[in-house]
Amino acid sequence: MRRFSTAWNPYVAGALSGLVAVASVAVTGKYLGASTTFVRGAGMVERLVSPDVVASLSYYLKEKPIFDWQFLFVTGIFLGAFLAAKLSGDFKIQAVPDSWRKRFGPGLGLRAVAAFFGGIIAMFGARLADGCPSGHGLSGLSQLSVSGFLSAAGFFLGGILMARLVYGGK
Amino acid sequence: MELLIGLCTGLVFGFLLQRAHVLRYDKQLGALRLKDMTIVKFMLSHIIVAMVGMYLLSDLGLAKLSIKATVLGANILGGLIFGLGWGLVGYCPGTSLGALGEGRTDALFGIAGMLVGAAVFSRSYDWLLTTVYTWGDYGKITLPGVTGLNHWLVIAVLAVAYVLVLRLLERKGL
Protein backbone atom coordinates (compact mmCIF):
# COMPACT_ATOMS: atom_id res chain seq x y z
CA MET A 1 0.00 0.00 0.00
CA ARG A 2 2.97 2.33 0.07
CA ARG A 3 3.20 2.53 -3.69
CA PHE A 4 2.78 6.31 -3.94
CA SER A 5 3.81 7.38 -0.49
CA THR A 6 5.92 10.21 -1.92
CA ALA A 7 4.17 13.21 -3.40
CA TRP A 8 3.48 13.48 -7.11
CA ASN A 9 5.28 16.16 -9.03
CA PRO A 10 3.23 19.36 -8.45
CA TYR A 11 3.59 20.41 -12.10
CA VAL A 12 2.14 17.13 -13.34
CA ALA A 13 -0.65 17.04 -10.75
CA GLY A 14 -1.42 20.72 -11.32
CA ALA A 15 -1.52 20.32 -15.12
CA LEU A 16 -3.77 17.26 -14.78
CA SER A 17 -6.08 19.24 -12.49
CA GLY A 18 -6.15 21.92 -15.20
CA LEU A 19 -7.38 19.28 -17.65
CA VAL A 20 -10.06 18.31 -15.11
CA ALA A 21 -11.18 21.95 -15.00
CA VAL A 22 -11.33 22.15 -18.80
CA ALA A 23 -13.24 18.86 -19.02
CA SER A 24 -15.71 20.13 -16.45
CA VAL A 25 -16.36 23.26 -18.51
CA ALA A 26 -16.70 21.19 -21.69
CA VAL A 27 -19.12 18.67 -20.16
CA THR A 28 -21.28 20.69 -17.76
CA GLY A 29 -20.19 24.29 -18.29
CA LYS A 30 -19.23 24.46 -14.60
CA TYR A 31 -16.14 26.27 -13.39
CA LEU A 32 -14.34 25.08 -10.26
CA GLY A 33 -15.12 26.95 -7.07
CA ALA A 34 -15.72 26.16 -3.42
CA SER A 35 -16.71 29.04 -1.18
CA THR A 36 -20.36 29.46 -2.26
CA THR A 37 -20.91 25.97 -0.90
CA PHE A 38 -20.17 27.27 2.61
CA VAL A 39 -23.00 29.79 2.24
CA ARG A 40 -25.36 26.98 1.22
CA GLY A 41 -24.03 24.84 4.07
CA ALA A 42 -24.48 27.65 6.59
CA GLY A 43 -28.01 28.20 5.27
CA MET A 44 -28.81 24.50 5.73
CA VAL A 45 -27.58 24.56 9.32
CA GLU A 46 -29.42 27.80 10.09
CA ARG A 47 -32.60 26.47 8.53
CA LEU A 48 -32.61 23.64 11.08
CA VAL A 49 -32.55 26.18 13.89
CA SER A 50 -34.69 29.01 12.53
CA PRO A 51 -36.17 28.77 9.03
CA ASP A 52 -37.55 32.33 9.28
CA VAL A 53 -34.11 33.88 9.51
CA VAL A 54 -32.94 32.05 6.39
CA ALA A 55 -36.04 33.12 4.47
CA SER A 56 -35.50 36.76 5.46
CA LEU A 57 -31.83 37.14 4.47
CA SER A 58 -31.35 38.18 0.86
CA TYR A 59 -27.96 36.45 0.59
CA TYR A 60 -29.52 33.07 1.38
CA LEU A 61 -32.14 33.79 -1.28
CA LYS A 62 -29.33 34.51 -3.74
CA GLU A 63 -27.28 31.42 -2.74
CA LYS A 64 -30.05 29.07 -1.72
CA PRO A 65 -29.38 26.29 0.82
CA ILE A 66 -29.59 23.48 -1.72
CA PHE A 67 -27.29 20.74 -3.00
CA ASP A 68 -26.01 22.02 -6.32
CA TRP A 69 -23.12 21.03 -8.61
CA GLN A 70 -20.53 22.86 -6.53
CA PHE A 71 -21.75 21.37 -3.24
CA LEU A 72 -21.21 17.90 -4.66
CA PHE A 73 -17.88 18.99 -6.15
CA VAL A 74 -16.65 20.07 -2.71
CA THR A 75 -17.95 16.82 -1.20
CA GLY A 76 -16.02 15.02 -3.92
CA ILE A 77 -12.80 16.79 -2.92
CA PHE A 78 -13.20 15.30 0.56
CA LEU A 79 -13.80 11.81 -0.82
CA GLY A 80 -11.06 12.03 -3.44
CA ALA A 81 -8.51 13.20 -0.89
CA PHE A 82 -9.57 10.44 1.50
CA LEU A 83 -9.23 7.83 -1.24
CA ALA A 84 -5.84 9.10 -2.40
CA ALA A 85 -4.54 9.30 1.17
CA LYS A 86 -5.71 5.78 1.98
CA LEU A 87 -4.38 4.24 -1.24
CA SER A 88 -0.98 5.88 -0.88
CA GLY A 89 -0.55 5.21 2.84
CA ASP A 90 -0.58 8.97 3.41
CA PHE A 91 -3.64 9.01 5.63
CA LYS A 92 -2.73 10.29 9.06
CA ILE A 93 -4.94 11.62 11.84
CA GLN A 94 -3.18 14.79 12.89
CA ALA A 95 -4.78 17.61 14.87
CA VAL A 96 -1.79 19.94 15.16
CA PRO A 97 0.23 20.49 11.96
CA ASP A 98 4.03 20.06 12.15
CA SER A 99 5.00 23.68 11.56
CA TRP A 100 2.38 24.90 14.07
CA ARG A 101 3.67 22.42 16.65
CA LYS A 102 7.23 23.65 16.15
CA ARG A 103 6.15 27.22 16.81
CA PHE A 104 3.44 26.87 19.47
CA GLY A 105 3.83 23.36 20.89
CA PRO A 106 1.49 20.38 20.74
CA GLY A 107 -1.55 21.99 22.44
CA LEU A 108 -4.74 21.68 20.41
CA GLY A 109 -6.53 24.62 22.08
CA LEU A 110 -4.61 27.46 20.46
CA ARG A 111 -4.58 25.72 17.07
CA ALA A 112 -8.35 25.16 17.24
CA VAL A 113 -9.01 28.82 18.11
CA ALA A 114 -6.74 30.04 15.30
CA ALA A 115 -8.33 27.68 12.78
CA PHE A 116 -11.85 28.66 13.84
CA PHE A 117 -11.34 32.43 13.76
CA GLY A 118 -9.14 32.17 10.69
CA GLY A 119 -12.00 30.29 9.04
CA ILE A 120 -14.51 33.03 9.93
CA ILE A 121 -12.26 35.79 8.57
CA ALA A 122 -11.29 33.83 5.45
CA MET A 123 -14.87 33.00 4.51
CA PHE A 124 -16.09 36.56 5.09
CA GLY A 125 -13.31 37.78 2.80
CA ALA A 126 -13.95 35.12 0.18
CA ARG A 127 -17.65 35.98 -0.01
CA LEU A 128 -16.89 39.71 -0.15
CA ALA A 129 -14.41 39.12 -2.99
CA ASP A 130 -16.94 36.71 -4.56
CA GLY A 131 -14.51 33.81 -4.67
CA CYS A 132 -11.68 31.87 -3.06
CA PRO A 133 -8.41 30.46 -4.43
CA SER A 134 -10.50 28.06 -6.54
CA GLY A 135 -13.09 30.43 -7.95
CA HIS A 136 -10.86 33.50 -8.34
CA GLY A 137 -7.42 31.91 -8.19
CA LEU A 138 -7.84 28.98 -10.56
CA SER A 139 -11.02 29.69 -12.55
CA GLY A 140 -10.61 33.47 -12.56
CA LEU A 141 -6.97 33.54 -13.61
CA SER A 142 -7.58 30.82 -16.21
CA GLN A 143 -10.24 33.04 -17.77
CA LEU A 144 -7.99 36.12 -17.56
CA SER A 145 -10.59 37.97 -15.51
CA VAL A 146 -9.40 41.15 -13.84
CA SER A 147 -11.26 40.26 -10.63
CA GLY A 148 -9.20 37.07 -10.45
CA PHE A 149 -5.87 38.90 -10.62
CA LEU A 150 -6.94 41.49 -8.02
CA SER A 151 -8.37 38.93 -5.61
CA ALA A 152 -5.49 36.47 -5.97
CA ALA A 153 -3.03 39.30 -5.26
CA GLY A 154 -5.07 40.11 -2.14
CA PHE A 155 -5.13 36.45 -1.05
CA PHE A 156 -1.37 36.13 -1.15
CA LEU A 157 -0.60 39.60 0.23
CA GLY A 158 -2.95 39.12 3.18
CA GLY A 159 -1.73 35.58 3.68
CA ILE A 160 1.95 36.51 3.64
CA LEU A 161 1.25 39.32 6.12
CA MET A 162 -0.60 37.00 8.53
CA ALA A 163 2.05 34.28 8.15
CA ARG A 164 4.64 36.90 9.20
CA LEU A 165 2.55 37.87 12.22
CA VAL A 166 2.08 34.21 13.23
CA TYR A 167 5.62 33.00 12.55
CA GLY A 168 7.52 36.22 13.11
CA GLY A 169 9.15 36.20 9.70
CA LYS A 170 11.11 33.04 10.47
CA MET B 1 -26.80 13.84 -13.49
CA GLU B 2 -25.14 17.21 -13.10
CA LEU B 3 -24.77 16.52 -9.38
CA LEU B 4 -23.14 13.16 -10.06
CA ILE B 5 -20.68 14.75 -12.48
CA GLY B 6 -19.93 17.36 -9.83
CA LEU B 7 -19.15 14.63 -7.32
CA CYS B 8 -16.87 12.83 -9.79
CA THR B 9 -15.09 16.06 -10.77
CA GLY B 10 -14.46 16.78 -7.10
CA LEU B 11 -13.27 13.24 -6.54
CA VAL B 12 -10.60 13.46 -9.24
CA PHE B 13 -9.64 17.00 -8.23
CA GLY B 14 -9.36 16.01 -4.56
CA PHE B 15 -7.32 12.95 -5.52
CA LEU B 16 -4.82 15.14 -7.41
CA LEU B 17 -4.67 17.74 -4.62
CA GLN B 18 -3.88 15.01 -2.11
CA ARG B 19 -1.30 13.30 -4.31
CA ALA B 20 0.53 16.61 -4.81
CA HIS B 21 0.46 17.11 -1.00
CA VAL B 22 -0.96 20.61 -1.42
CA LEU B 23 -3.86 20.16 0.98
CA ARG B 24 -1.90 20.24 4.20
CA TYR B 25 -1.42 23.25 6.45
CA ASP B 26 2.36 22.96 6.28
CA LYS B 27 2.32 23.37 2.47
CA GLN B 28 -0.17 26.26 2.50
CA LEU B 29 1.79 28.11 5.18
CA GLY B 30 5.01 27.08 3.43
CA ALA B 31 3.92 29.20 0.47
CA LEU B 32 2.75 32.11 2.62
CA ARG B 33 6.06 32.03 4.52
CA LEU B 34 7.85 31.98 1.15
CA LYS B 35 9.65 28.76 2.04
CA ASP B 36 7.95 26.06 -0.03
CA MET B 37 6.13 27.04 -3.21
CA THR B 38 4.56 23.65 -3.99
CA ILE B 39 1.02 25.10 -4.04
CA VAL B 40 2.11 27.90 -6.37
CA LYS B 41 3.63 25.33 -8.74
CA PHE B 42 0.38 23.37 -8.66
CA MET B 43 -1.77 26.47 -9.22
CA LEU B 44 0.30 27.96 -12.05
CA SER B 45 0.50 24.60 -13.88
CA HIS B 46 -3.27 24.31 -13.53
CA ILE B 47 -3.79 27.83 -14.85
CA ILE B 48 -1.44 27.43 -17.84
CA VAL B 49 -3.34 24.34 -19.01
CA ALA B 50 -6.80 25.66 -18.14
CA MET B 51 -6.46 29.07 -19.79
CA VAL B 52 -5.52 27.46 -23.09
CA GLY B 53 -8.27 24.84 -22.79
CA MET B 54 -11.00 27.23 -21.72
CA TYR B 55 -10.34 29.84 -24.39
CA LEU B 56 -10.08 27.07 -26.99
CA LEU B 57 -13.52 25.78 -25.95
CA SER B 58 -14.86 29.32 -25.97
CA ASP B 59 -13.43 30.09 -29.45
CA LEU B 60 -14.90 26.87 -30.81
CA GLY B 61 -18.27 27.82 -29.34
CA LEU B 62 -18.25 24.73 -27.12
CA ALA B 63 -18.45 26.59 -23.81
CA LYS B 64 -19.21 29.98 -22.36
CA LEU B 65 -16.75 31.81 -20.15
CA SER B 66 -18.02 32.70 -16.71
CA ILE B 67 -16.35 35.94 -15.68
CA LYS B 68 -16.83 37.29 -12.17
CA ALA B 69 -17.47 41.02 -11.90
CA THR B 70 -14.59 43.29 -11.02
CA VAL B 71 -15.44 45.57 -8.11
CA LEU B 72 -12.22 47.12 -6.86
CA GLY B 73 -13.44 47.58 -3.27
CA ALA B 74 -14.86 44.08 -2.94
CA ASN B 75 -12.08 42.22 -4.77
CA ILE B 76 -9.19 44.02 -3.08
CA LEU B 77 -10.65 44.28 0.43
CA GLY B 78 -12.23 40.83 0.28
CA GLY B 79 -9.01 39.37 -1.11
CA LEU B 80 -6.91 40.89 1.67
CA ILE B 81 -9.39 39.82 4.38
CA PHE B 82 -9.44 36.30 2.94
CA GLY B 83 -5.64 36.24 2.96
CA LEU B 84 -5.43 37.30 6.61
CA GLY B 85 -7.84 34.53 7.57
CA TRP B 86 -6.08 32.03 5.30
CA GLY B 87 -2.76 32.72 7.05
CA LEU B 88 -4.42 31.79 10.36
CA VAL B 89 -6.48 28.76 9.38
CA GLY B 90 -3.97 27.44 6.85
CA TYR B 91 -6.63 25.95 4.60
CA CYS B 92 -8.70 27.52 1.87
CA PRO B 93 -12.38 26.58 1.45
CA GLY B 94 -11.74 23.79 -1.05
CA THR B 95 -8.65 22.37 0.60
CA SER B 96 -10.20 22.38 4.10
CA LEU B 97 -12.48 19.50 3.07
CA GLY B 98 -9.61 17.73 1.33
CA ALA B 99 -7.33 18.16 4.34
CA LEU B 100 -10.01 16.62 6.54
CA GLY B 101 -10.15 13.75 4.04
CA GLU B 102 -6.47 12.99 4.58
CA GLY B 103 -6.93 13.06 8.36
CA ARG B 104 -6.02 16.62 9.35
CA THR B 105 -8.66 17.05 12.03
CA ASP B 106 -7.82 20.70 12.79
CA ALA B 107 -9.54 21.42 9.47
CA LEU B 108 -12.84 20.70 11.28
CA PHE B 109 -12.40 23.88 13.35
CA GLY B 110 -11.56 25.74 10.16
CA ILE B 111 -14.67 24.42 8.41
CA ALA B 112 -16.85 25.34 11.40
CA GLY B 113 -15.36 28.83 11.33
CA MET B 114 -15.98 29.13 7.58
CA LEU B 115 -19.65 28.23 8.06
CA VAL B 116 -19.92 30.89 10.77
CA GLY B 117 -18.11 33.33 8.47
CA ALA B 118 -20.67 32.66 5.74
CA ALA B 119 -23.51 33.25 8.23
CA VAL B 120 -21.91 36.52 9.36
CA PHE B 121 -21.50 37.59 5.73
CA SER B 122 -25.16 36.85 4.99
CA ARG B 123 -26.08 39.38 7.67
CA SER B 124 -23.71 42.01 6.28
CA TYR B 125 -24.61 41.58 2.62
CA ASP B 126 -27.33 44.23 2.32
CA TRP B 127 -25.11 46.83 3.93
CA LEU B 128 -22.11 45.82 1.81
CA LEU B 129 -24.22 46.14 -1.36
CA THR B 130 -24.71 49.85 -0.70
CA THR B 131 -21.09 50.45 0.29
CA VAL B 132 -18.11 48.27 -0.68
CA TYR B 133 -19.86 46.79 -3.72
CA THR B 134 -20.27 50.27 -5.19
CA TRP B 135 -16.57 51.15 -4.92
CA GLY B 136 -15.08 50.82 -8.39
CA ASP B 137 -17.59 48.56 -10.11
CA TYR B 138 -16.27 47.77 -13.60
CA GLY B 139 -18.45 44.79 -14.39
CA LYS B 140 -17.23 41.58 -16.02
CA ILE B 141 -13.90 42.62 -17.46
CA THR B 142 -10.93 40.54 -18.61
CA LEU B 143 -7.31 41.39 -19.40
CA PRO B 144 -7.83 41.03 -23.18
CA GLY B 145 -10.91 43.25 -22.93
CA VAL B 146 -9.14 45.94 -20.95
CA THR B 147 -5.95 45.98 -23.02
CA GLY B 148 -7.67 45.49 -26.37
CA LEU B 149 -5.19 42.70 -27.15
CA ASN B 150 -6.12 39.38 -28.69
CA HIS B 151 -6.72 36.82 -25.97
CA TRP B 152 -4.19 34.37 -27.43
CA LEU B 153 -1.48 37.01 -27.22
CA VAL B 154 -2.37 37.65 -23.56
CA ILE B 155 -2.36 33.89 -22.90
CA ALA B 156 1.05 33.49 -24.58
CA VAL B 157 2.57 36.38 -22.61
CA LEU B 158 1.13 35.10 -19.31
CA ALA B 159 2.21 31.52 -20.01
CA VAL B 160 5.78 32.69 -20.60
CA ALA B 161 5.64 34.86 -17.46
CA TYR B 162 4.33 31.96 -15.36
CA VAL B 163 7.02 29.61 -16.68
CA LEU B 164 9.68 32.21 -15.84
CA VAL B 165 8.26 32.51 -12.30
CA LEU B 166 8.35 28.73 -11.94
CA ARG B 167 11.93 28.57 -13.22
CA LEU B 168 12.93 31.21 -10.72
CA LEU B 169 11.30 29.22 -7.91
CA GLU B 170 13.17 26.09 -8.99
CA ARG B 171 16.48 27.97 -9.16
CA LYS B 172 15.95 29.29 -5.65
CA GLY B 173 15.14 25.79 -4.43
CA LEU B 174 11.65 26.77 -3.31
A108 pLDDT more than 60? yes
Proportion of chain A above pLDDT 70, given as a percent: 96
Considering Cα of B74, then A37, then A111, then B30, what sign does the dihedral take?
negative
- What's the pLDDT tens digit per position in A33-64? 999 999 999 999 999 999 999 999 999 999 99
A169 to each of A117, B32, B40, how far by Cα in Å? 21, 10, 19
Q: d(Cα B136, Cα A67) in Å, to the nearest integer?
A: 33
Query: Average pLDDT of each block of 10 consecutive residues along chain B (174 residues)?
Result: 96 98 97 97 98 98 97 98 98 96 98 98 97 97 98 98 98 94
Q: d(Cα B92, Cα B137) in Å, to the nearest integer?
A: 26
Cβ distance B85 to A108 less than 8 Å, yes or no, reads no
- What's the pLDDT tens digit per position in B26-39? 999 999 999 999 99
Please count the CA atoms within 13 angstroms of the CA of B94 that sit on its side-chain side: 29
- What's the pLDDT tens digit per position in B134-165? 999 999 999 999 999 999 999 999 999 999 99
Residue of chain B minimizing CA distance to A70: B6
A109 to each of A121, A161, B48, B97, B107, how far by Cα in Å? 18, 23, 40, 21, 13
Query: Residue A6: which pLDDT band, with cuts at 50, 70 and 90?
Result: confident
Q: How many beta-carbon pairs under 8 angstroms link A with B?
A: 526
Q: For the full predicted model, state whether its pTM sits above 0.90.
A: yes
Query: What's the complex ipTM?
Result: 0.97
Q: Chain B residues with CB inside 8 Å of A62's CB?
A: 125
Q: Do B74 and B132 meet the contact criterion of CB atoms below 8 Å apart?
A: yes
Q: d(Cα A137, Cα B75) in Å, to the nearest integer?
A: 12
